[in-house]
């Protein structure tokens, strides 16, 4: 537990952290640990508590249940020659989960971890602490990603399995493809929405507009804009795993899609850390 790269271990006297102690183990007895452990786990714990204590989280659960219920309904009604189980699974995965449920759940959790604290002003207790900003952002991001994935991955698995398992002519690779697509989409979306929540106080509205207008409509219109769509990265990677097209748009090359997904995520996280590093909190009026 030596000094962190961001110098979070600066001692009260303005001296250097333990890393510069050249005296070696001989002085170890005289210099007991001055600080407790890094607060990463603490931030994760309190953030998880805050996310789970929000009433909005309960509403998200209902929302997440919708595709599963529709899958059950489709299974009960049964397939015909037009709507084979494969077609139904892809339609539920693309039209419902990837287009609607995934971005909105990612938006709600992405804006819940830092944005909610900025909104209600309690962020000041976190920012007025000697914690490097990257540590805060990574802890917050971990919670948002974990909660989003924990809800969406089992839900996607369940939805596609309900439609496909044991059905005649069912292509089970669609299960793996859809699940990976949702997982990839969740990771990238959450990173983007966390960044939005520190950049603007209207992250929820702007995020919704982005999802509906850009991702839902404009991005799939032209080949060029498709490269700037998280949904396209997700369906391209998922389609590659499923061995078939998971959406009605032309997929982008899987390597390209993966590279872009990573790049967008890393850039979003970097922007979040940078923005939080010079975040201004004006107290009171």
* Residues making contact with another protein (CB under 8 A): 7-12, 14, 33-39, 42-43, 46, 49-50, 53, 120-122, 124-133, 277-278, 280-285
CB of 67 to another protein, least distance (A): 29
Q: Compare residues 16 and 225 and give the one whose CB is closer to another protein.
A: 16
Among 137, 125, 146, which Cα is nearest to 197's? 137
CB of 204 to another protein, least distance (A): 18
Q: Where are the alpha helices (DSSP H) in the chain?
A: 40-53, 55-77, 85-91, 102-113, 115-120, 123-127, 133-164, 173-199, 203-209, 223-226, 230-242, 254-277
Instruction: Return the SS3 of 203.
Output: helix
Q: Compare residues 13 and 81 and give the one whose CB is closer to another protein.
A: 13
CB of 269 to another protein, least distance (A): 18
Q: Compare residues 102 and 118 and give the one whose CB is closer to another protein.
A: 118
- Compute the distance between CA of residue 134 and CA of residue 112 in angstroms, rounded to an integer: 18
CB of 140 to another protein, least distance (A): 13
CB of 187 to another protein, least distance (A): 26
Q: Compare residues 37 and 168 and give the one whose CB is closer to another protein.
A: 37
Q: What is the DSSP string of 213-231?
A: IIIIIITTTSHHHHTT-HH
**Cβ atoms 195, 268 nearer than 8 A:** yes
**Cβ atoms 110, 188 nearer than 8 A:** no
Q: Compare residues 80 and 282 and give the one whose CB is closer to another protein.
A: 282
Token pair, residue 221, equals 């219109």
Q: Compare residues 57 and 244 and give the one whose CB is closer to another protein.
A: 57
CB of 47 to another protein, least distance (A): 10
Residues 6+ apart with CB under 8 A from 61: 151
């Amino acid at each position: 537990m030596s000094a962190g790269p961001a110098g979070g271990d600066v001692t009260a006297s303005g001296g250097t952290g333990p890393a510069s102690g050249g005296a070696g183990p001989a002085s170890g007895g005289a210099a007991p640990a001055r600080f407790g452990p890094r607060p990463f786990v603490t931030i994760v714990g309190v953030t998880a508590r805050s996310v789970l204590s929000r009433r909005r989280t309960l509403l998200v659960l209902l929302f997440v249940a919708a595709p599963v219920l529709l899958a059950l309904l489709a299974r009960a009604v049964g397939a015909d020659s037009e709507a084979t189980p494969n077609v139904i699974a892809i339609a539920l995965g693309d039209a419902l989960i990837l287009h609607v449920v995934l971005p909105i759940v990612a938006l709600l959790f992405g804006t819940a971890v830092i944005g909610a604290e900025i909104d209600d002003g309690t962020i000041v207790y976190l920012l007025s602490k000697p914690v490097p900003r990257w540590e805060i952002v990574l802890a917050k991001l971990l919670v948002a990603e974990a909660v989003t994935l924990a809800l969406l991955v089992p839900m996607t698995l369940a939805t596609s399995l309900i439609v496909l398992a044991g059905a005649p002519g069912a292509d089970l690779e669609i299960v793996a493809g859809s699940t990976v697509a949702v997982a990839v989409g969740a990771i990238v979306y959450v990173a983007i929405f966390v960044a939005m929540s520190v950049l603007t106080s209207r992250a929820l509205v702007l995020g919704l507009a982005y999802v509906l207008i850009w991702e839902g409509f404009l991005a799939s219109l032209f080949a060029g804009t498709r490269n700037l769509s998280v949904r396209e990265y997700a369906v391209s990677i998922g389609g590659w795993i499923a061995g078939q097209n998971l959406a009605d748009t032309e997929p982008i090359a899987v390597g390209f899609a993966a590279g872009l997904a990573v790049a967008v995520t890393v850039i979003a996280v970097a922007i979040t850390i940078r923005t939080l590093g010079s975040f201004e909190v004006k107290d009171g009026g």
